[in-house]
Every structure is written in structure tokens, then in C-alpha cells.
Structure 1
Amino acid sequence: MNAANKLLAAVRFRWRVRIPDALWPEFEHYILRQHRPFLLLTNIIAALAFFSYVLADALLIPDMASASLLTRATLLVVAMVNIWLVFGRSRNVLLMDQLMPVHDLIATLSWFELLKRSHSPDVPTFLYASLIFIVFANLGVRVSFKGAVLSSLAISVAIMSNVALMNPHDSKPLLVFSLVYLPVLLFCLFMSWSTTTSVRLAFYTAQEQRRRKHELSTLNQRLQMLASTDALTRVGNRRAFDLQLQAFWQQSQQHGRPFALLLVDIDYFKPYNDHYGHPAGDHILADVASAMVSCLRSGQALAFRYGGEEFAILLQTGSQDELLHIAQRVQQQVAALEVEHRYRPDGLGYLTISLGAALSSLHGLQHATDLLACCDRMLYRAKQQGRNQVLLAQDETVGIV
């Protein structure tokens, strides 16, 4: 089991799911992406709902109707400004999460001031409407259960102390109110705990899914690389060459981008393999591939093992002179390895290569296979003419067998 799975398994069995400091920035980003719209909407709805209670005040405490309108309108403006500042100018998820509970605390204190100044006989009944404050304080919490507990306790102290102040000589109203209020408080705290726990577990699950997706993507890339790479020489294999040759040809036909193909053959490789042994032969194949790649500009050329001791190089060039220069540089780079080969029939004494090359823009080439056949003929002629040389196809040599 990896570290991410262990962490996810551990947090599932804790009453409080903790976000480590190292993961907090990612958790904030997750909240902003997944829950910011909800937090914004609940803050706006709560502010508007608080203002709408001006109608209830007008009916139940009519002597405070004008004061209620002024108070609620002022608090609505303050709330909207705060919402704009927190959600529009800040990216602090704790502020977004606890903004509504703070507004609820201010609204609670303001509303009880209206009740305490009213002489309406409906005040004792209207007190129970204060339950809505503790509900709204916990309704939108998504990030911090600790914050929900602290804000709920503050709102509860404000409510209970004001109920007690409004009934200074009789404890029975406070007792009855408490019997109704406490279950609501506990349910709201449970709701906050459940929500914040679910959000954090969802974050860990998203982290794990993203990790698995990344691992799968990496594995697929590795498999694709293995499927297109020659295991011995670490350059592209024949399958990759066939695909790239077709891709280069199609681009050339569609966009007029000429390219070049080089076929490379290690001279007298069979005598080398027979006398020095297959392990030495494999080592030379890898060294020759590495030498060729080292002198090719990254992004300009692709190298492949064509088969046996043959290699292919695709070049993004349309210049005959540049093609010749690159081919000679490849030839010189391999010769610079100074690999001893005493069993050459020509007696040269060291390892060399022969190259046949052609541009895709040569007249008479109709398909990618025509270019490949042309290069193969040039390579064959280079070997017939004594090896250790470069032959480039010209327009007049395209059709010559």
C-alpha cells in the first residue's frame, strides 16, 4: 500500500479528518474549484433571507418596524460589501467558509436589540425564530468544523444570554427555550461535522484518483516508448520508423515540407560479429547508434534501428548540401569511435559505416516507399563501390536500379 492509500485509509477512521500543512494549498485550490460557487450563493441567500425578515418584524413587533428596516438594510449592505471583498478580492477559503457565521452573529445581536426594545406581546413567541441563526451558521460550512463550533458557541451564548436578559425574574422561559434550542444546536453541529468530513474525504479521494491517473498516464507513456524503442540501441525500432516515415511523407505532401532519409549500414559487421562475438557486436550496435544520435541536432532528426546492423535517420531538411554535410558528420562520428576491426576483407582495420541518402522532393518519388527504395539503392551502390562512403540520390538517379 502506497503513502497516499495509507493516508486515505487512516483518515477514514478518525472523527476529525485533518489536512496536513503540506497539502493545505492543494486543499484550498480544491475548495475554490469545487465549493466556492456554493459558499458564495449561500452567503447571498442568507443575507437576503435576513433582510426579508423585515416583514415578520413589521407583523410581530410593529413598534420596531422602522428601526428593523434601517438595521436590516444597513446590515444587508455591509454583508454584500463583505461578500464582494472576500469572494471577489480574496482567495482565502477560511474567510469564505466563516463569513456567513460571522454575519449570523452580528445579525443575532442586532435582532435581539430590536426584540428587547419592543413592547409587542408576540415577542416571547417570536424568540423562537432565532433558531434560524444557528441553522444558517452551519448550513454553508465546508472547510472548518472547528470554526463552525466556535461560531455556533458564540451565537448560542448571544441567544441564550439575551433570552435570559429578557426574562430576568423567571427562569422557566429560558428552560423551555433551551429544551428546544439544544437539540437544534447539536443537529446543526453534526451537520457541519458531517459536511466538513465529507468534503475532506472527497479531497483525499480526488487526490488519490489524480495520483492513479498520473501513474496510469506515466505507465502508458512508458509502454508506448517500449513499443517504439529498440531495446538494444535505445533508438526507435522498425515499427516506429515505418510510422514516422509515413507521417513525414504526409506532412511533406500536405504542407510542402521536404525532408531527407538516410540509410546507414555498418561495414562488414558479420565478420566483426563472428570473430569478436555477439556480445561485442551488440555493444558496437549500441555505440554506433549513440554516436549517430550525438551528432544530430535535437528536434531536427530522428534515428531508428532499421534491422540487423542497419539504421535509418529522418531529417527535417530540404537542402542537398545540408544533407551531405550531416551524412558526412555521422560517418566521421562513427569513425571517431576508433573501433578495431582486423577482420575486414579490405584491410582498413577499424569500423566504418556506409550511407545512402535522398530528399523527399526528388522528382519521380510518388510514395514514401519510393523514397525508402531510392535510399536503399544508394546504400547498395555505396557498398558496391568500396563502403565507408556517402552516396546521395540525384534526380537523374531516382529510377536507376
Structure 2
Amino acid sequence: MPKPGPVFNTASDQPLALPGRWRVNIPKALWPEFEGYIWQHHRGFLLLTNIIAALAFFSYVLADALLIPDMAQTSLLLRSVLLLVAMLDIWLVFGRRRNILLMDLLMPLHDLIATVAWFELLKRSHSPDVPTFLYASLIFIVFANLGVRVSFKGAVASSLAISLVIMGNVALMNPHDSKPLLVFSLVYLPVLLFCLFMSWNTTSSVRLAFYAAQAEARSKNELSSLNRRLQMLASTDALTQVGNRRAFDLQLEQFWQQMGQHGRPFALLLIDIDYFKPYNDHYGHLAGDHVLAEVASAMVGSLRSGQARAFRYGGEEFAILLQSGRQDELRRIGQRLLQQVAALQLAHEYRPDGQPYLTISVGAALSSLAGLRHATDLLACCDRMLYRAKQQGRNQLQLATDDMAVTSD
């Protein structure tokens, strides 16, 4: 078995437990996740082994009929009752409860009851084959450890209880001769030790597999988080922290396809900072970068979360995709953008028109306008509206109507 390493919480880099050399511990903090792991990966096996063990115990009624025929009827009745009880227990434990310790130790518990019942049959039989048949009791210790997946302590406790029943009954059946008990012990003890070793190995392997699954899930989460961060970086403008041109092109095409498939109209707004070149030339590029970031932040702040997404279209131009098909709402949002940027009162003393503060111009259109056949048509329409806003004095909004959708000014 490979030497286990430290176990880390999937939500942090802090180690939760260091499995010991001979025992792999499950910290209390990880127990609910361990229960879920057992339920998902080992419930089917535990259920099947319980059913097989119950049926195997019942099948020994044939061996009883051959080797202790004087107890055949009693054996059939006893095994039938115990089979029904076992099936009821299995249904209750696996069908109605989610206790993995109970699932894990149900078969050893049934095994202990079956051991007591079987020895009662042997002690009441007068068959000469009883001394030979005694060695069939080895199957009980095998079955007690065969299905254990969770608790090695439980396997040890049940194995010792079953062994006490077996050895005690062998001694009671040979009260005046210790040799049968000695011979039986020489055969039984190696089997017991081997079964316990298998239980230890199995439970340790299951726990190590759980830790490996935790580590794999943690790696996948970290990789997924990294991929999301990289994807965000690839689609975000570093300066303004809004979407970049590539993200805009993809989103515009996606909105257009969704409109064609589901009939969901949307709106596009193109925004340009008025006289940005004179501002950049006189105040410097650092101040220009600061203004771009300020304007982007102000516009994003004026939009309701989930309603729209802003993009840097290029240079001092921005684009906003709005999930709305109403002209009045588009006008209201466009006017709000103008007001939010004006409220920043960013000084611009080098404007040719003499206004003291930095402003924006906006051109907007609905995707549902007549004559728009492609996403590029909508983009061209908004661009014409933006040009009109600039031509008519800037610091204003121009909305396209049906008669403007496919014609230039």
C-alpha cells in the first residue's frame, strides 16, 4: 500500500489530517463528505454483499439436510425466519436510512446472529458428522470481514464476538477433550488473522481512495477556477474592466442568434467620449486612461445588474448590449448614461465647443427595427446614430427608428 500523504481541505490549502502509518483517519470535518463518498461509490457493493450473504446462509439448509439430517426441519424454519429478518433489515438500512456505519456493519451483525443460531443446531444434533461440520464455521468469520468498507474497528469487534461464539461452542461441545479445540484453533486463528488483515487493507484503501478523490476534486476546482480567470482576462479590457472588443463581437452575435431562435429583441448603444483627443493631448495619456476608467465605471454603475453588459469598443468608444426591446426604456437608459458621466464633472478646458466638463454622445437602436437582417446591420445603424449625435452638437442621445434603420443621414 502506498504511503499516504497529507490531506487538504478542498476549500483551502490547510492540511486537515495526516494519515498514520497503520491507520488512515477521517477527520470529523471531512466525515460528511466521506459518508457521501461511501454512499456514491460503495453503497451498491455493500447492499449486494448483504443480500448474497443472507442467501448463502439460507442455502446451507442443504448442507444441514445432508450432515445433520435430524435437524433438517428445524434448520429450514430457523434459516427462513433469519432470512426474512435479514431482508427486512437490509431494506430498512439501505432504503430508508443513510448511516454508512450501519450499512457497513449490518452483515457482521447478521453474521453473529447466524453463528449463534447455527451452533444451536449443531449442539442439538446427534449426527456423527458434527465434528467435521464444525469447520464450516470458518465461513462466518470470512463473511464478517468480506464486505467491510468503512470501520476496521467494527470489523475487529464483530470478528472477536463471532470468534468468542465459535470457540466457546467448540469448547462446550468437547467438554472432556481439549484436543478438538486445539486442532480447531490451529485452523481457525490463521483464517481469523488473514480476514482481519483483509479488512484493515480494504478500509485503509477505501479511505485513501477517498482522499485521492478529494485531491482530484480540489485540482479540478482549481483548474476550473483558473480557466474562468483566464477566460475573464481574455474577454476583459484591462484598463476599464469592462468587456473587450472580442467579447463584444461574440456577445452581439449570440444575442442576434437568440433573437432569431426565441424572438428576444435587444438593444445596442454605442458611446463616444466627446473631444477625447484634445483631452488626451493636453492632459496626458495617464489622465486619459483615468478618464476612460472613470467613464466606464460610471456607465456600468447606471445599469441594473444582469440587465446589460458594457464593452470597450475601441479607443474612447464603448458599447452596451441591453436586454430590452422597448424604445422608451432604451431612451431612459441612454439619458441616464449621459447624466451619470456629466455628474462626474471631469474638467475639460480644451473642448472646441467651450463646455467646461467632459461629456459623451450616444447612438442607440433596437434589434427589432425593420430592415435589419444581420448583427452588423444593427451595429452600422447605431454607428450612424452616434455620428448624428456628434453632428448635432454632442452630449446627446440619438435613437434610431424604422425609417432610419437601413439608411444613412
Report TM bin, short chain: over 0.9
SS in 1 for 2:364: strand
Which residue of structure 2 aligns with residue 75 of structure 1?
82
Q: For residues 252 and 258 of structure 1, what CA distance do their matches in structure 2 show?
A: 6
Which residue of structure 2 aligns with residue 331 of structure 1?
338
- Aligned AA (2:130): V
Residue 268 of structure 1 and its aligned partner are, at CA, apart by: 1.1
Residue 363 of structure 1 and its aligned partner are, at CA, apart by: 2.4
* Contact 2:271-2:362 within 8 A present in 1 as well: yes
Residue 7 of structure 1 and its aligned partner are, at CA, apart by: 5.5
Q: Does 1:343 align with 2:350?
A: yes
Residues 2 and 61 (structure 1 numbering): CA distance in 2 closer, same or farther, change over 3 Å? Answer: closer
Q: For residues 309 and 7 of structure 1, what CA distance do their matches in structure 2 show?
A: 49
Which residue of structure 2 aligns with residue 397 of structure 1?
404
* Contact 1:47-1:79 within 8 A present in 2 as well: yes
Which residue of structure 2 aligns with residue 268 of structure 1?
275
Residue 274 of structure 1 and its aligned partner are, at CA, apart by: 1.9
- Any gaps of 5 or more consecutive residues in structure 2? 1-5
Q: Kindly report the root-mean-square deviation, in angstroms, between the aligned alpha carbons of the 2 structures.
A: 1.7
Of 97, 101, 105, the residue aligned with 1:94 is: 101
Residue 350 of structure 1 and its aligned partner are, at CA, apart by: 0.6
Alignment TM-score, normalising by the size of structure 1: 0.96
Of 213, 216, 221, the residue aligned with 2:220 is: 213
SS in 2 for 1:382: helix
Q: For residues 2 and 58 of structure 1, what CA distance do their matches in structure 2 show?
A: 54
Q: Does 1:3 align with 2:11?
A: no
Residue 31 of structure 1 and its aligned partner are, at CA, apart by: 0.6
Of 361, 367, 389, the residue aligned with 2:374 is: 367
Of 312, 319, 323, the residue aligned with 1:305 is: 312
Q: What fraction of aligned residue pairs are identical, expressed as a percent?
A: 80
* Contact 1:259-1:315 within 8 A present in 2 as well: yes
* Contact 2:7-2:17 within 8 A present in 1 as well: no
Which residue of structure 2 aligns with residue 222 of structure 1?
229
Residue 8 of structure 1 and its aligned partner are, at CA, apart by: 9.5
Which residue of structure 2 aligns with residue 63 of structure 1?
70
Q: Does 1:384 align with 2:391?
A: yes
* Contact 2:360-2:394 within 8 A present in 1 as well: yes
* Contact 2:7-2:211 within 8 A present in 1 as well: no
Of 138, 159, 179, the residue aligned with 1:152 is: 159
Of 240, 247, 261, the residue aligned with 1:240 is: 247
Alignment TM-score, normalising by the size of structure 2: 0.94
Residues 232 and 142 (structure 1 numbering): CA distance in 2 closer, same or farther, change over 3 Å? Answer: same
Which residue of structure 2 aligns with residue 142 of structure 1?
149
Q: Which moved more, 1:19-28 or 1:2-11?
A: 2-11
Of 254, 258, 267, the residue aligned with 1:251 is: 258
Q: Which moved more, 1:62-71 or 1:240-249?
A: 62-71
SS in 2 for 1:388: coil
* Contact 1:269-1:309 within 8 A present in 2 as well: yes
Q: Does 1:161 align with 2:152?
A: no
Which residue of structure 2 aligns with residue 173 of structure 1?
180
- Aligned AA (1:73): S
* Contact 1:62-1:120 within 8 A present in 2 as well: yes
